[in-house]
Amino acid sequence: MGFVLTTPPSKEFRCNGVHGVKHIQKNGSSIKHAVTNGTVGKNQAVHDDSPTLAPLSGIRAFASVTIVCIHVAHWVNLSIGDRKKVHGAFETSAWWNYLYQPDPPMDAFLTLTGFLAAWSLIPALEHTSGYYKTIKRYYLKRIWHIVPPYYLFLGGLYFFLMPVASNPSLHGDLWRGFFDRFATMDQGACATLLWRNFTFTNNMVDFAGCWNITWSLCVQMQFYAAFPLALLALQPQKPGFRKRVVALCITIIAGVSCYKTWQMFHTQLWTYMPLAAFDQSIVRVNKLMIFMGHHSYTNFVSRLSALGMGVLAALALSDQHFRHWLGRNRATTYQVWVGLFLVLAGSGIVNKFGCEPDPNHISASIPGLFFVFVLTQTFLSPFFYAIMLAVVMTRQPGLGRFLSRLLSAKLLAWLADLSYDIYLIHSFVIFGIWTVYPPSVWWDVRKPSTFIAVFCAAFALTTMLAWLHNRLWAAVRSAASKITLSVLKQKTV
């Protein structure tokens, strides 16, 4: 598990400002336009619906916090030797079951990834005379931001952390949580498949190979590589380009729904529910987990529904007619959005994991599992975040404006700037905490306060180190830019 949006938002967000000033003339409907066209009276308040990217920082920040919290719980589940105790916690403890929900923050990040890629690239391709420079700049920006620090951490993992796995005195919690087969830093996978991490393809092997939480970064990089080529194939400067993009996205979302439906029936997944996912001794379940890892959780195609929904949201919000329609139908939009929230929140109450299959479990039926596994994951959850983007970016009066201001807070923008650094660092911080305070010593599902304290310590330490890491790479990039400019000046002279 684990995903952090790696497109740096800060400068773009701040230059647009909370009120999206720079977007008013280009994309929005200005107050002057509204008044001169007779759409409002002299004494009427005018709502400026020009999109602002500032609230996206808050969404990223909250998703980053949630991912770290879920990963602390994930490593607890992996580390505890008594698997029945782990699975029993999902059946008996509502808070533990509700906490361990990795899909909502994943869908948030993936929807944002698709949105930001489309928001910047589609207009650029529509209005550029040469595609080569635009796409080259698009690729280089992402490679420069993502690859160097990631490769550095892969080196640290291989040379400093993997030797720890061979320590005979290693605590059992550390082995099970990090180095065991299919654990986060699977010793066997790291010894033979680390090259997959360097090529951003480790999401294609069993349990995502070595440092398996980076499967989401692989999905993101694969999308970054494929998206510009898909747009070029749709001929950006010919009439109807955006309609072709919309048709492609809808086709992809429908295709992913069919793909996940096939997975469900091929495996007869409902017969496993609730799933004893953390017990490798059950051969039948182990085979299922490998299959679902390949085809569902870490699979690029299965994640295209959220990415495609993000692209659709970008196309909608860049259209002035859609924004006006959204304003006129604000009450209905809020009702749909709140309804989706209640449905998604309610589905989180049902435990997906347990000691053994239960034919009376809601997910043990074909309709129940179809709703949770197919409909929710491919449509309802991404659609919820797409509506959220529309509401907060256009600052719809009422709830939308309140959330827009909340999500645009400076503290959340600061955390969003650190999201990639947090993503890279947090697993190593939690490993360090496990070495001095293993879960078998402190974890008790009946005492949530202990878990909260451990999570807060892990997140605070991770954030501090992430800030230092962020500053370091900012200095490195600045120095590299100065050197590059100097070399170019010398060549011109």
Q: How far is CA 197 from the centre of its chain?
A: 18
Write down the pLDDT at residue 64: 96
> In this predicted structure, what is the pLDDT of residue 27?
39
Q: Please state, as a whole number, how many other Cβ atoms lie within 10 Å of the Cβ of residue 475.
A: 10
DSSP state string for 232-251: HHT-TTSTTHHHHHHHHHHH
Distances (CA, A) of 187 to 158, 211, 412: 10, 10, 36
* Other Cβ atoms within 10 Å of 283 Cβ, number: 8
3 state DSSP class of 353: strand
Cα–Cα distance between 168 and 173 in angstroms, integer?
A: 13
- If phi > 0 it is left, if psi is from -120 to 50 it is alpha, else beta; for residue 128 that is beta
Note the pLDDT of residue 9. Answer: 43
According to the 3-state scheme, what is the secondary structure of 432-445?
A: HHHHHCCHHHHCCC
Residue type, 436: V
Cis before 274 (ω within 30): yes
Residue appearing with tokens 């299922």: 288
Q: What type of residue sits at position 116?
A: L
CA distance 158 to 153: 9
Q: How is residue 163 annotated by DSSP? A: G
| Distance between first and last Cα of the chain | 51
Question: Quick one: pLDDT at residue 28?
Answer: 39
Q: How many angstroms separate the CA atoms of 439 and 417, rounded?
A: 30
Phi, psi of 304 (to 5 degrees): -70, -20
Q: What is the pLDDT of residues 344-358, one digit of tens each?
A: 998 888 889 999 999
* Cα dihedral sign, 178-113-422-102: negative
**What are the residue ranges in the chain where pLDDT is below 50?**
1-4, 6-44
Q: Would you state the pLDDT for residue 485?
A: 79
Q: Which residue matches tokens 């906490």?
A: 99
Q: What is the pLDDT of residue 34?
A: 38
Give the distance, in angstroms, between the CA of residue 259 and the centroid of all CA atoms in the same chain. Answer: 21
Helix (H, G, I), strand (E, B) or coil at 356: coil
Q: According to the model, what pLDDT value does residue 327 have?
A: 94
User: Among 297, 270, 257, 307, which residue's Cα sits nearest to residue 103?
Assistant: 297
CA-nearest of 240, 223, 239 to 311 is 223
